[in-house]
Amino acid sequence: MDMNLKIHRFVEGKKWVQDYKLTVKTGMTVLEALTEVKEKQDPTLSFTCSCRSSICGACAVRVNGNAELSCEVLVETLMKRYKTDTLVIEPLGNFKVIRDLVVDWDPKYATIKKIKPVIEPKKEFSLETGCKQSPEEFNKFKKYAKCILCGSCVSECNKSALNQEDFLSPFVFVKAERLVADSRNRSPQEQLKAIVEAGLWRCFNCQECTAKCPKGLDPAGAIEKLKESTFAHKLDDNVGARHAKAIYDDISDSGTLDESKLNIKSEGLIMAALRAPMAVRLMRTGKMNPMNGHPVNPEIETIRKIVKNAEAASKEAE
């Protein structure tokens, strides 16, 4: 079976898309296809890889618009998924491109420093006794320690596409949850304070990072866990936390959102007043009517049960 590769090239400021033709071999990965192009057709093509075993994270690229670990994903799988014999290969999104499929990781690594990525052990630990931890305590963060820094989550992050200046990359939140959930950590509030300042509540909750992570680490879930921890550590005096609390209270009390008070509760009177033009638009479209009061959903008891069950399920999963 033949395939077409359309590879986005970028060399010394010049961009173009280059076509290559290949014969697909059984079990051929995208990385093997790229390697065959480089070895047999075009030695000028640049990409990165190392372990070829889904461990090092160096080989992630975008294929037909979605981030993939190129040493793991099979060409045939993608051709079936997209019902095509043409794969378009690009560098990861939301990264600066250095050359062809090679992206610049330095600014991303630098943001990890913002969350103080070290654990100071609790005072009860000592050189003599070590830092003991039960299997249950280890299981709370085990998953998040498996990040291979492949960048797939960043590539498809909608918040990062809009603005990366006021937001950490999804994998940095994964790293933060790995540290915050570690029972040996003397001061998880240090990491929590840092991530609140670095954009925790700015996540769009679009779940793209979770859908694209080749290790199934659920960065969006890590972000939700971190938000919960900010409440537990009383770091909830900010717009995002107040907004979440206001929504929770409205849904628990009445089963409906009180749009006329939501902004006041989240941002305070002065900031809410600045949003008066938006309130007028909501009133015009009928989404908000302060004269009608706050309606109670007739299914409020069912809604309260759903909230309680969700809370119990979330505790069980911890």
Residues near ligand FES, by CB under 6 A? 49-52, 54-59, 69, 71
Judged by beta carbon, residue 1 or residue 55, the one nearer ligand FES is 55
For residue 59, the partner it binds in ligand FES, ligand SF4, none, with Cβ less than 5 to 8 A by kind, is ligand FES
Which lies closer to ligand FES via its Cβ, residue 59 or residue 174?
59
One of 7, 37, 174, 181 touching ligand SF4 (CB under 6 A): 174
* Three-state DSSP state, 13: coil
254 binds ligand SF4 (CB under 6 A): no
Residue the block writes with tokens 């409020």: 300
Query: Which is nearer to ligand SF4, 63 or 223 (by Cβ)?
Result: 223
Binding partner of 183, given ligand SF4, ligand FES, none, CB within 5-8 angstroms per partner class? none
User: Is 152 an interacting residue with respect to ligand SF4 (CB under 6 A)?
Assistant: yes
Choice between 148 and 246, CB closer to ligand FES: 148
Nearest to 252 by CA among 220, 204, 294: 294
Cα(132)–Cα(227) distance, integer angstroms: 27
Q: Nearer Cβ to ligand SF4, position 27 or 216?
A: 216
Residue number, 159 or 215, with CB nearest to ligand FES:
215
The item of ligand SF4, ligand FES, none sharing an interface with residue 199, based on CB under 5 to 8 Å by kind, is none
**Minimum distance of ligand SF4 from residue 244's CB (angstroms):** 14
Q: Which of residues 190-249 bind ligand SF4 (CB under 6 A)?
A: 203-209, 213, 215, 217, 219-220, 223
Alpha-carbon distance of 94 to 289, in angstroms, equals: 40
Closest by CA position to 34, among listed 64, 66, 71: 71
The residue from 153, 180, 196, 200 that contacts ligand SF4 (CB under 6 A) is 153
- Whole-angstrom CA distances from 115 to 21, 105, 162, 174 are 45, 17, 22, 11
When asked if residue 159 is in the footprint of ligand SF4 (CB under 6 A), the reply is yes
* Closest distance to ligand FES from the beta carbon of 34 (Å): 11
Site for ligand SF4 in 132-151 (CB under 6 A): 147-151
Tokens 């931890």 belong to 133
Degrees (nearest 5) of the Cα angle 252, 256, 261?
95
Mapped onto helix, strand or coil, the DSSP state of residue 239 is helix
Long-range residue pairs from 138-145, CB within 8 A, at least 24 positions apart, any chain:
140/181, 140/182, 140/183, 140/318, 141/177, 141/178, 141/179, 141/181, 141/182, 143/217, 143/218, 144/174, 144/175, 144/177, 144/178, 144/181, 144/217, 144/222, 145/178
